[in-house]
Structure 1
Amino acid sequence: MEVAGRKLDNASAEFVLHCQPCLEDGREISANGFCKICKEFMCDPCIAAHKRFAISRNHVFLTKDKMPSFYMNKDKADFLPTEPCHEHTSEMIKFYCPTHDDLGCSDCVVLHHRNCKVEYLSETAKQYKESEEYETLNENIVHMETVISALNNKVKDSEAFVSENTKEEIQKLRTFRAQINLVLDTRENMLLKSMKENEIKQKEILSKLRDGIKGLKQTLAETTTDMQTTEKQLHQHFIHAKMARIRDNFKILVIQIVQSNPDSFSRSTSRITSETAIDLSTVEWTKDAELDVSCTEDPNDSWITSSALVEPGKCLLADNLNTCVTLVDINVNKVLSRSELIGYPWQVCAIPSGHAAVALPDENKRKFAKHI
């Protein structure tokens, strides 16, 4: 049923549809949409207000180009067309063609379904609710709702898993960092303790050396005085000179031994003074990492009979059974080079300027030097 006006002919201006809620307040505002649920035309402010309320938030709206072109009687709205034709937007869908399974307006029937037996939409819609197609559609909708719900639950579970996994990885990282810090702290404390103990030992040895030097100075002064006082007494002068020579030679020997072995300060607790020699029985020997000195060219097991330190970190070894000498880097446990000999080596020693001497007992005890 049309109210509040009528549709004019094509030569006249088009009938203006006004917002129905505003008309009730006495305001004439052009409608820009149509609510399919409330069957009312509305302006933009009324549409926005309509969507704010929970009860009407999900209502379906038709835009201005798709909304009906006339007012409707709400009591008969269920029997009137409410959807605009997709081809003729100014007309409403009123007919259904079973032959082409198509919906259309009056113009569509005239243009495309003139020879078809079309049905009026209101009568077809009443029968559709009892059809198998409608029942299948509802079953599909229920099935899709179940599938969507299951997918939604999987997404939630995945989100929870991702969050929990992230927390676990962060905790593992923090635990690992705490373990590293603990190891580093423990190692630092051990090194600090070892360095402090070594410092104390070094200072004790240096203190003893200082006392020894003081004793040497005193002895030297006494010798000088004796030599001066006995200068005119030739036999006394001769005796003191000889005694001073023997005593000083011994002391110089001890000092040279100390100077040529500075690393012995940290490896032993020997009493090194001007009056005592080095006692190896008091040296503390410790087992270091084992060296692998074998080579692929060796026909026999290695039998090392002698070694010599040619430079810091590099050691020259005499291998008797394999008739060769090998140069080993003791820091990285690696054989740097191997040299075949003409006999079975027994002794090896380093010589300045990058040479080494090797003793070959089986070759008439001949020795030769070879560049390292």
Structure 2
Amino acid sequence: MCQVHEKEIIKFYCPSHHALGCSDCITLGHRTCKVDYIPEKCVGVADGKEFDDVMQKLGEKLKEASEILKKAKGKGSNINYFNEEIIKAITEFRKEINDWLDLMQKDALNNAEEIRANNNKIIQHVLDKCENMISSIKCLQSSLHASKANHEQGQLYIDMKRAESTLKSDELHEVKETLMHTNMRYSFQRNAELETLFCKKMVFGEIVDHSRHESTKMTKAVDRLIGKENINVKTLSDELDCNITGFAVLNTNKLVLADHFNKKLKLISIENRFVEEKVLDSAPFDIAVMSQDQFAVTMPYIKEILVMTTENNISCARSIKVDKTCYCIDYNQDRLYVDCVSPSSVIVLNTQGDILNNMPLNFLSPRYAPYIAVRKDSKLLYISDCGKNSVVSVSLQGKLTATYKHTDLSRPQGMLLLDDGSLLVCSYYNGTIHKVNGDLKQRKIMYKGEDGDLLQSICHSSRYAEIYVGCIGDHLKVFNTQ
């Protein structure tokens, strides 16, 4: 029945307005439209292509709604989890403040007690000296009176000379000076910075939105690299030397590493350098952060991409099968960009693993694993072609747009894309890091390593203003950028 004219039956459909209606609806609102008469149009509709299309699209819409529902439930769980983490962090911060204040108060009280004890020691010294002198003078007085009364002229002479010696002594003057120069008046003066701090209208802290994960490829302009330290990533269970072919910075202030030789993922705390690990069935190669607690890992030897989560421990959320040997990977705007070999190509996937684009790159060396970096606007890809000792830029149509080659660039590997559009490129064989501008025309050597430095992968933490470089070996190189 018609929803507008309740006693009328729906008999017409207006394709121009996508509207169903009865005779009254068509007469009043669609008189000039070319409408379909449903009793005629519905003949054989069950067996037609339109029915199949509608059912297919409904199925797709149902699948999409189910996926969104699943994500919503997951996010609902995350809300409580992160709220608990926030409460925990706030409580811990308050405890730290209390501990700091307790420690400062203890130091102030100890200082006051030390002053009191020192001053009491001085006063006691003066008291002792004065009491001894009074006792000595009284004894002399008694002795003088006794000697005079007894007419003992010799003894009286001796006592007088002793008295004269006592009168000439500076001991009383010294204790008097000590007493005069001892400051007994003290007061407590508040720490002006603390008083100002707590008198201001302030917030205890702020809740930071990490919905957009900390980028491991975008950072502010980098003009120089200052060597800071090396981080040992070797664990007791490692049977081989480490080979960090790919890594990234997570929002949890941790580095996640792909140790290719040992078939492991390693999670390293940036603050305390603590290392956790997860053993895999095959060797991982590269890592791309997808969200605050998820990252994708390429598994070239089994032609698979693992989507991992760090919500509790490192675990696999799902896997994406690919029909090519996939090595290096990047993530941008809900898309995964994966470099493949044999033949060389880049495939573009959505987060569910559906292939959106497949770009053959026949101009690349077919046998080497190229690293990839995607420009922020997703209009250009940068690929390190280590077989030809070059870095190339490629459009999303797979067209070669520019090439960078230099005698100091030997087997380029990992790349870090900077905010100004330039790149930091690891040169594997000669241990150098190049800074190349976005059009691949200008360059600068940012770092010259020692002999044997085999630089493979690179990422950045904006929070700590540090750049990390992975090598073949048991250590990550850490550079300051400011």
What is the TM-score with the length of structure 1 in the denominator?
0.36
Structure showing the higher helix proportion among its residues:
1
What is the TM-score with the length of structure 2 in the denominator?
0.29
Structure with max Cα Rg? 1
Q: Which has the higher contact order (CA 8 A, sep 6+)?
A: 2
